[in-house]
Structure 1
Amino acid sequence: MIRDHFRVYLVDLDTGTMQVLERDGREQLCGGGGLAAMLFQEFGHADRPWDDPEQPLIFAIGPLTGYFPLMSKTVCAFKSPYHDQYAESHAGGRSALSMRFGDMDALVIRGRAKRLSALAVGARTFELRDVNFLRGRDALSCGRVIRDMFPGSGRRSMLRIGPAGENRCSYACINVDTYRHFGRMGAGAVMGAKNLKAIVILGDRGFPLPEGKAYTSLFKDVYKQLTDTSIMDKYHGLGTAGNVGALNELHALPWRNLQQTHDPDVDAITGERMAEDRLLRNAACAGCPVGCIHIGYVREKFQENYQYLYRQVGYDYELLFAVGSMLGITDSFDALRLMDTVELMGLDVMSTGVALAWATEAQEKGLVTEEQTLVPLAFGQADDYMAAIEHLARNSNEFYSLLSRGTLKAAEVFGGGDFACVLGQEMAGYATGEVFFAAEGLGFRHSHLDTGGYSYDQKHEEQDVDHAVDFLVEDEKSRVLLCAMVSCLFARGVYSEELLGRALESVGYDKLAGAMPSMAENIQRIRWQTRVQTGYDAAAVRIPKRFREVVTWKGPVDPDYMEALRTEYARRIMEIGAVSEE
């Protein structure tokens, strides 16, 4: 059953109560990222710090969630501990479908539980349980306990944090159904600040599918495009791990804190070798037929007579970059062991890998000592990195406490800002050139998926600032529309604006189908306005020196071109995010 209004579940942890609210705005903001920004403007506080108990933690889905394949993402919005500004993070798993079956468009959580707690919420369920006995437990063992506490079918989604979230690390993640994450910008720390160890979303109701042939026929057509054509093959086959070898060949893969963009010893961590030697199986988010999640294994000897314990570990390009090439790791088992440790601690893997790469170079240059890092950090040494990851999650000393707030925070104290690989947050693994560096540095989520800047670098030799910035602004606009539906961005080659319109019409959202251009502008505007209202100034963003020293397949980066891009893109962003005084 479609509805023009949004159905919002508002949880107050202080009182242990929940309200069901209705909010207008569907025709202007659609859902997902647009809805989340609207709810932050209602319930958030731009002038209070990120960990104020009244700051909301928001989860939102879109009008096509549950109706079409790959409409499988949830948007999580919050005031970030990383920069104390409005932020978003996106994750798949079962969370979106569980919210749809739970009869909610959004879940808003305010307040702070008196003791470490687990929240269970659904259309017929609301419960807050004391789980203080789980304090300090890793994310995966916590998951086993929470599953027993809140049994459910495949319509149940479980979100939980590890020690990093409890200790309010600025890049602590929320683990979603084991293999997916709200990874970037510190959503896990927001849960920790609210004294929430876990959130269980129970899809305990259901929803009817549209009647008639139009919906059924379109669903079959979309499903066929996603499964019977080559459009999505790469995601199921090698997955994004296939980018490792390709980007290394392009001299665009960051190595050893971006001191290199190519290394001949890449072979063991390429997608091809991972598939041949380490891949156990594929998995998929609920509502997705593609299966892009690639799961490998690590093993530990637990008895002297060569008996081993095997654990399954998800991997993809971002992970292989962050704790592989960025740390100089060229053994696939070592890379998977580091991924597993990051997973247990509940950290964002990209920020963790990049932060430790900076720390390694800082130690090489004598800016920090082994007394501060507690272990000798050296590129390629996985065992020491495993220990450092746990120190980082548990804030073992002043050095790790600073580093857990972000690489630039540590660099302010110890020096080394010139080689901090930070583009708004610790970089994603695309050293493709000037457009990408400017795009991630200034972009809304500081994500490689905010726009296709990395693709633009590969397709354009000319240095046309206006053309490049126009591309970034328009490409973001098309992506925020998908992030309001809420689609997996891997499906952007399938879900054209025309197909999205037909999909909306087939489930009864005729008005939305006819208003997509204006909706996209509205969503782009309200997201940037919300970010600016919480303190963002794009013009103040700087790109560290290390990015001016990069050499790609095109040759050395042009610092003047990158600065011109940064200046113009910042101007356009602030123009979009300007708040009318009327």
Structure 2
Amino acid sequence: MIRDHFRVLVVNLSSGKGQIVQLDGRNSEAGGSGLAALIFNKYGLPEQPWNDSRQPVIFAIGPLTGYFPLMSKTVCSFKSPYHNQYTESHAGGRSALSLCFANLDALVITGKAERLCCVSVSSRSIEIKDVSFMKGMDVDESGKILRGMSKGSGHRTILRIGPAGENGSAMANINVDTYRHFGRLGGGAALGAKNCKAILIHGDAVFSAPANKEYSKLFAKVYQQVTATDMMRKYHNLGTPENLQGLNDIQSLPWRNLQATSDSAIDTINGERFATDNLLRNSACSGCPVGCIHVGYVREMFDANHRYTFKQVAYDYETIFSLGTMLGVTTTRSVLNILDSIEKNGLDAMSGGVALAWATEASEKGLIAEKETIVKLSFGDADAYQQATEMLGNGVNDFYRLLGQGSLKAAKEYGGEDFACVLGQEMAGYATGEVFFAAQSLGFRHSHLDSGAYSYDQKHSKQDINGAVNFLISDEASRAFMTSMVACLFARGVYKNELLADCLHSVGYSELAAGINPLGVHIQKFRWQTRIATGFAPEAITIPKRFYTIKTWKGSIDSNYLKSLKSEYGKAIMNLAGA
């Protein structure tokens, strides 16, 4: 499996044919994020719209996939329907190992099928199946059918979209093996534009682990660190929902469309309450021994004969924020019911929840009438939100179709731009302060994981523009290398550069091992150059007024500091890219 080139399968849905392509660049682009940018530069059309049938949807893994614990993610890259620019989304499940055992470094989908289709690939075959009968099916229904159509499980992954993806919603995700997602910036719509309902990847090949003792000892060392120490234990226990209480305590948790940053009702919806009342089991991505996926359950009576149905849905910090505190919903059962609807319709939970929070405040202010929302939206009304997510996913009228393109686009039509909680895309759940707001608004994926800005805010009360910008740029470079491996970013505390170098060397990638820092900077620069070529301009991204009006543990947001920080960070990005 060790090779100095990338082995890429390109499937053209227009012609119904596939081709194995070998690409150079292993020692410069590494894999994952770097490889995805390399492929987009070869097959992408920077000046054409996101839904041009020739645009690629790319799935890429890294050189350590399959060899070490938590090297379990896949990078999905595409031109986004949200902002019409190049972007990435990351997910786990079985996707990475399936690609690895299909003897591929990347899978690329181009073209557009005449009818709704399912693409099935393995190490030896490609099949494109007509699944027109699945049109409009939700993620649960299609998943049951696709599992029946495919052989076994093991190293088989099922990627699928729901109604939101078919409808072209910029909030549509790609569901990965039920509990994971390529979530943000509209990957589901990118597949939907190709008439692709699902992708099945069968990892049916085998490869031998390195025979040297160095590898065996190193694997045991890494496994020990991620399973027997406190370094990763928190992700298995309460998981990321543990952060709800802490952020609420320091006035950094968004409530009711960020009209507040703390609320005493946190006791009814924090991580401990979910674990006590709703946790069914833990699950894990393939290749991960930690088990950070927390699967919750809700028991619902569905008829007068007292018969019950059980819903199982994976929750985490982000979904509890977006469908709980952001909507003023304060019971665990209600959050899981809304999340179940979001999941079935194939919507990104953060984007959908934050958009509905804006719609609720706009309704309360009289900017949107009930004829648009169909149901009356009120903070805390979980039943209404459950219905609204269904309508948002299906785009039932002009209002919901527009809202599905983003809160700011809806606000330009109806008003309410000042309180749209958008930082490049609908915000993540960290109202920690100026550094995070600037970082997410301009970050490569507009993600809270582009950098550790939310942590920086909590550790630094002093205003230091140069220090903050230098941190954001350097931190992103190290993460760019991690996402080129492709490691779960939860493991960034384990996989320091020295350990990464040892891992790469042990499996035969000595040149990569010797150049981690410069390679991280190179990949970071290369990704930005790719995105800038598709239209990224920092000055075109605004931070709505709502973010200037809140209070955190440091006090009121300093408007001048936030504006200056965003401006200098934008300049630093453009300078890095040589633009």
Calculate the TM-score normalised by the size of structure 1. 0.99
* 1:534, distance to aligned residue in structure 2 (A): 0.0
Following superposition, the deviation at residue 149 of structure 1 comes to 0.9
Letter aligned with residue 105 of structure 1: D
Deviation at 1:304, TM superposition (A): 1.5
Q: Which residue of structure 2 aligns with residue 261 of structure 1?
A: 261
* Matched-pair identity in %: 58
Corresponding residue number in structure 2 for 1:60: 60
CA distance in 2, matches of 1:320, 1:4: 43
Q: Distance in 2 between matches of 1:539 and 1:406?
A: 19
User: Quick one: which amino acid aligns to residue 226 of structure 1?
Assistant: V
After TM superposition, give the deviation of residue 298 of structure 1 in Å: 1.6
1:463 Cα shift? 0.2
Deviation string 1:61-104 (CA, Å, 9 cap, x unpaired) is 00000000000000000000000000100000000000000000
CA distance in 2 between partners of 1:305 and 1:251 (Å): 46
1:241 maps to 241
Structure 2 counterparts to residues 106-255 of structure 1, below 5 A: 106-255=106-255
- The one-letter amino acid paired with 1:75 is V
Aligned counterparts of 2:517 and 2:309: Cα–Cα separation in 1: 53
2:263 and 2:224 mapped to 1: Cα distance?
A: 39
Q: Deviation per CA, 1:339-396: give whole Å up to 9, x if none.
A: 1000000000000000000000000000000011111000000111111111111111
1:149 counterpart letter in structure 2: M
Q: Say whether the 8 Å CA contact 1:160–1:174 is kept in structure 2.
A: yes
1: CA distance, partners of 2:19 / 2:515: 31
Per the alignment, residue 352 of structure 1 pairs with: 352
Q: CA deviation at 1:303?
A: 2.9
Partner-residue secondary structure (3-state), 1:294 = strand
Asked if 2 retains the 8 angstrom alpha-carbon contact of 1:125 and 1:202, the reply is no
Tell me, in whole angstroms, the C-alpha distance in 2 between the residues paired with 1:246 and 1:71: 29
SS at match of 1:137: coil
SS of residue matched to 1:76: strand
Who is 1:507 aligned against?
507
For the residues of structure 1 that align with 2:303 and 2:398, how far apart are their CA atoms?
A: 37
Deviations 1:128-166, CA, capped at 9 Å, x for gaps: 001010100100110010111112231100000000000
Separation in structure 2 between the aligned mates of residue 161 and residue 577 of structure 1, nearest angstrom:
34
Alignment of 1:60-79 (within 5 A): 60-79=60-79
Write the mapping of 1:310-389 to structure 2, written as runs, cut at 5 A. 310-389=310-389
State the 1:458 CA deviation. Answer: 0.3
The aligned amino acid for 1:85 is Q
2:571 corresponds in structure 1 to 571
1:516 Cα deviation after fit: 1.3
Cα distance in structure 2, aligned partners of 1:125 and 1:285: 25
- Residue identity matched to 2:532: V
Match of 2:92 in 1: 92
Any gaps of 5 or more consecutive residues in structure 1?
A: none
SS in 2 for 1:368: coil
Q: 1:20: which partner in 2?
A: 20
Q: Which residue identity is paired with 1:465? A: I
How far apart in 2 are the matches of 1:287 and 1:395? 37
Q: What are the Cα deviations for residues 192-225 of structure 1, in whole angstroms up to 9, with x where unaligned?
A: 1000110001101122110110000000000000
Cα distance between partner residues in 2 of 1:153 and 1:248: 41
SS in 2 for 1:298: strand
- TM superposition score normalised by structure 2: 0.99
Indicate the SS of the match to 1:303.
coil
Q: Which deviates more from structure 2 when the two are superposed, residues 493-502 or residues 306-315?
A: 306-315
> In the alignment, is the contact (CA less than 8 A) between 1:100 and 1:207 conserved in 2?
no
1:305 deviates by 2.5
Q: Distance in 2 between matches of 1:129 and 1:148?
A: 14
Distance 1:227 1:565 in 2: 39
How many angstroms apart in 2 are the aligned matches of 1:546 and 1:554?
Answer: 17
Which residue identity is paired with 1:25? Answer: G
Instruction: Provide the C-alpha distance between the structure 2 equivalents of 1:360 and 1:201, rounded to a whole number of angstroms.
Output: 40
SS of the aligned residue for 2:67 comes to coil
Q: Distance in 1 between matches of 2:153 and 2:337?
A: 31
Q: Give every structure 1 segment of 4 or more consecutive aligned residues whose post-TM-superposition deviation is greater than 3 Å.
A: none
Cα distance in 2, alignment partners of residues 322 and 14 from structure 1: 38
Unaligned residue ranges in structure 2 (runs of 5+) = none
| Distance in 1 between residues matched to 2:310 and 2:377, nearest whole Å | 27
Partner of 2:276: 276
Give the distance between the partners of 1:206 and 1:188, measured in 2 at CA: 30
Measure the CA separation in 1 of the matches of 2:531 and 2:78.
Answer: 11
1:46 positional shift: 0.5
Using the TM superposition, name which of 394-403 and 432-441 deviates more.
394-403
The Cα of 1:577 is off from its aligned counterpart by 2.2
Aligned to 1:559: 559
How many residues were matched structurally? 579
> Could you tell me how far 1:521 is from its partner in structure 2?
1.3
The equivalent residue for 1:418 is 418
1:557 Cα offset (Å) = 0.7
Distance of 2:84 and 2:548 partners within structure 1: 27
CA distance in 2, matches of 1:366, 1:303: 37
- Equivalent in the alignment of 1:7: 7
Whether 1:475 and 2:475 are equivalent positions in the alignment is yes
Match of 2:494 in 1: 494
2: CA distance, partners of 1:269 / 1:477 = 35
SS of the residue 1:280 aligns to? strand
Q: Aligned partners of 1:183 and 1:333: how far apart in 2? A: 23
The reply on whether 1:537 has 2:531 as its aligned counterpart is no
Task: Provide the residue aligned with 2:303 in structure 1.
Answer: 303
SS in 2 for 1:103: coil
Cα offset, 1:302, TM superposition: 2.4
AA in 2 matched with 1:299: R
SS of residue paired to 2:302: strand
- The one-letter code matched in structure 1 to 2:365 is K
Question: Could you report, residue by residue, the CA deviation over 1:109-132 in whole angstroms, capped at 9, with x for unpaired residues?
Answer: 100011000000111121000101
User: Hey, what's the Cα distance between the residues in 2 that align with 1:388 and 1:189?
Assistant: 19
Separation in 2, partners of 1:48, 1:229? 49
CA distance in 2, matches of 1:265, 1:2: 53
Q: Distance in 1 between matches of 2:98 and 2:269?
A: 35
CA deviation vs aligned residue, 1:493-546 (integer Å, no higher than 9, x gap):
000000000000000111110121221111001100000000000122211100
CA contact under 8 A between 1:100 and 1:206: conserved in structure 2?
A: no
Separation in 2 of the partners of 1:368 and 1:480?
A: 41
Distance 2:210 2:481 in 1: 22
Query: Conserved in 2, the CA contact under 8 Å of 1:28 and 1:518?
Result: no
